[in-house]
Chains A and B, each alone.
Chain A
Amino acid sequence: MEKQLKILKYSDLSKLIEKFRSQGFPVLAPVRKGKVVEIEQVQSLDEIALDVLLSTQSAKKAAFPKVEKVLEYTLEKSGTKQFPVDPADYKETILFGVRPCDASGFKSLDAIFGEEPKDQFYLEKKEKSTIISFSCPVSDEYCFCTSVGGGPGNTAGSDLQFTGISKDEILVEILTEKGEKLAATFADLLTDAAKDIDKSKFLADVKVVFDVDGVVEKTTASFNNSALWLEQSLRCIGCGACAFVCPTCACFDFQDEQNTKKGVRLRLWDSCGFSLFTLHTSGHNPREVQSQRWRQRIMHKFAYMPEQLHVVGCEGCGRCSRACPVDMNIKEHLTAIGEMVKV
């Protein structure tokens, strides 16, 4: 659909959240929790941390939660019964105040979970989420969205995007039919915007540091370059923090939990950085050392996904580097791959 431009007053944001709440929509937004900023359900505007550069966790949990139930059953050995766990059992939700890299991060998850056979646990939640992203007025040294095809005002994946254009006013871009439907519920707070507003004036300046096509090409050819992977991962302690904060990481595990009578099967986030991830019962491990696990992380995002799902599995949010306890910096590592003369 053709994009529509509107103006919303900052002073009306509080009313906006109230409107969402009064219509019964759960609102997920960045919330300060001590030193971290989580994406959590909020009741009012004053809970929302709109001034932070980026939440610690990505927004992916709205459709791909850290833990979710996929089965429920009784435990009598001879008469085990299963109770239906309906993926469709999820309320229409508004994801508010996330960043453009969060919104566009869903395209990787869409590709993985949307491939046949479709994962309705993810798809139902995604379908029922309306995403209102806030463009980025500032960035930091970890950001590299513009190097992977995104940007501080990238609208891909957002249903609505808000951009602060003055102390008082927010430019509202209505980008999808879902966004249009939601915007109709607060039309009274919106006025028409001038057609010639130059949004780019209000966005952070994020420099392009590498050519993504070159990085994809060189990564694809580098499986056997063990020196590269070893050098990049010498510091890696395999903690998996990078995967847990990543907006595109989709690897998961199943674990059963039970009491004496009933049990549930849970789907939980997992990480290719863990040594147990691929360990066979026999003791054999196809990715035995950390450098092979680092190679998997980079190659999955920059070689396998581009080739098979036609999407680069990275949004350049830099969360993995901010979260890394040993200060590995993916922007630097990708730049180094891009600069390799000989592959």
Chain B
Amino acid sequence: MEQQNIYQPYLMEIEKITEEAPMVKTFRLKFKNEEEGNNFSFHTGQFGEYSVFGEGEVTFCVASPHTRKGYIECTFREAGRVTSELASLNEGDTIGFRGPYGNIFPIDDWKGKSLLFIAGGIALPPMRSVIWSCLDKRDQFKDITILYGAKSVADLVYKDELAEWKDRPDVKLVTTVDPGGETPDWKGEVGFVPTILDRMTPISENTIAIVCGPPVMIKFTFPILEKYGFADDQVYTTLENRMKCGLGKCGRCNVGKVFVCKDGPVFTRTQLKELPDEY
């Protein structure tokens, strides 16, 4: 049967809350209706609209990998009205979720290639979904390198997973904090992401680079990738714009004729270059 009300969310129970960093939390969400949960599937890169009933909806990428069924996770920073309300909830509380929406990271096309993940700040969550989706099929890819930077040591999210990746022999993890953000016992790098990337002298051959971060980080990271020979088709990112419906109807997330919600949020740098300056 055709879905009658496309704006009706699934009801989700907050199963687990993890404090990631100051003002940043991860919710593990379980479908309250088991059948809905069983029928639900998504692919890494997709996003959803999360509801706090009585307050409204907020847009995040699904932060968990599509290779793990039965739950989804979202990681958010307390910043606006809905995220502040979200942050006040407890385990066991109910929220809504609509999705999955948008296009995907085509990880099946990346088989046999090396992957270079470059993330800054609160942009690790959307990338974490891709990272785990790839790590769960580790034998399909060659080298996996993760460069992650945040303002300060406290601001690094997924600290347990960073430790896990650090320990894995099949992952190369480089973490960095902005100058001044280090603590006395910090063992990672100090410097902005593009600077550290340059120092890493990345190899572009047979490599896909996935870049997520604040606009200023992306702006300075692209030229470094270019310097090391990454072609525009080898570079992926995910855009965000303010959204309401997530379905290409409410009219606000478009970048020129392209709807971020429907045609994105995942774009190659080739596609990005064709977009007008409206994001």
List A contacts of B11 (CB < 8 A): 80-82
Let me know if A75 and B54 touch, CB within 8 A.
yes
Closest to A86 in B: B4
Instruction: Evaluate whether A85 and B83 lie within 8 angstroms (CB atoms) in the complex, with A256-B55, A263-B54 already known.
Output: no
For residue A273, give the distance in angstroms from its CB to the closest CB of chain B. 11
Within 8 A of B (CB), among A230-265: 250-256, 258, 263, 265
Binds A, one of B22-30, B125-133, B176-184, B238-246: B238-246
Give A297 Cβ to nearest chain B Cβ, in Å: 10
Number of A interface residues at 8 Å Cβ cutoff, please give it: 55
- Quick one: which of A117, A252, A299 contacts B250, CB cutoff 8 A? A252
User: Residue of A at shortest CB range from B2?
Assistant: A118
CB closest residue in chain B, given A77? B93
Give the residues from 35 to 88 in chain B that come closer than 8 angstroms, CB to CB, to chain A. Answer: 51, 53-57, 79-80, 83
Is the Cβ of B255 less than 8 Å from the Cβ of A286? yes
| Interface secondary structure of B, over-half rule | loop
Smallest Cβ-Cβ distance to B10: which chain A residue:
A82
Does B103 make an interface contact (CB < 8 A)?
A: no
**How far does the Cβ of A262 sit from chain B's closest Cβ, in whole Å?**
9
A-B contact count (CB 8 A): 122
The answer, yes or no, to whether B161 is at the interface (CB within 8 Å) is no
Give chain A interface residues in 99-118, CB to chain B under 8 Å. Answer: 112-113, 115, 117-118
Instruction: Count residues on chain B whose CB falls below 8 Å from chain A CBs.
Output: 44
Contact status of A286 and B53, CB under 8 A, knowing A117-B247, A254-B244: no
Q: Is the CB of B250 within 8 A of A281?
A: no
Closest approach, in angstroms, between the C-beta of A260 and any C-beta of chain B?
10
Whether A284 pairs with B215 at a CB distance below 8 angstroms is yes
Minimum CB–CB distance for A331 against chain B, Å:
23
Residue B94 lies at the interface, judged by CB distance under 8 Å to chain A = yes
State A272–B278 Cα separation when bound (angstroms).
13
Tell yes or no: A23 within 8 A of B by CB.
no
Contact A82 B254 (CB under 8 A): no
B244-259, CB under 8 A of A: which get 1 and which 0?
1101111111111100
Given A115-B248, A254-B56, A272-B251, also A286-B279 (CB < 8 A): yes
Question: Contacts A118-B2, A280-B242, A281-B79 hold; do A80 and B250 have CB atoms under 8 A apart?
Answer: no
Complex formed: what's the CA distance from A78 to B55 in Å? 16
Residues of A within 8 A of B241 (CB): 278, 280, 286
Q: Determine whether B163 belongs to the interface, using a CB cutoff of 8 Å to chain A.
A: no
Chain A 41-79, CB-CB to B under 8 Å as 1, else 0, gives 000000000000000000000000000001101010111
By a CB distance below 8 angstroms, the chain A residues around B56 are 254-256, 265
Pick the residue among A256, A263, A307 that contacts B257 (CB under 8 A): A307
Q: How far is the CA of A121 from the CA of B7 in the complex (A)?
A: 10
Distance A29 CA – B92 CA, assembled complex (angstroms): 50
B154 CB–A CB distance under 8 Å: no
| A86 contacts across to B, CB distance below 8 A | 4-5
Which residue of the partner chain, among A250, A252, A255, A256, contacts B53 with CB atoms under 8 Å? A256
Residue on A with the closest CB to B251? A251
- Across the A-B interface, the 10 shortest Cβ-Cβ residue pairs: A251-B251, A281-B80, A80-B94, A258-B54, A77-B93, A304-B257, A263-B54, A70-B7, A281-B79, A223-B276
Given contacts A80-B53, A272-B252, 17 further A-B contacts (CB under 8 A): A71-B8, A71-B9, A75-B53, A75-B54, A77-B94, A79-B94, A82-B11, A84-B8, A87-B4, A118-B6, A250-B251, A265-B7, A278-B252, A280-B241, A286-B255, A286-B279, A300-B251
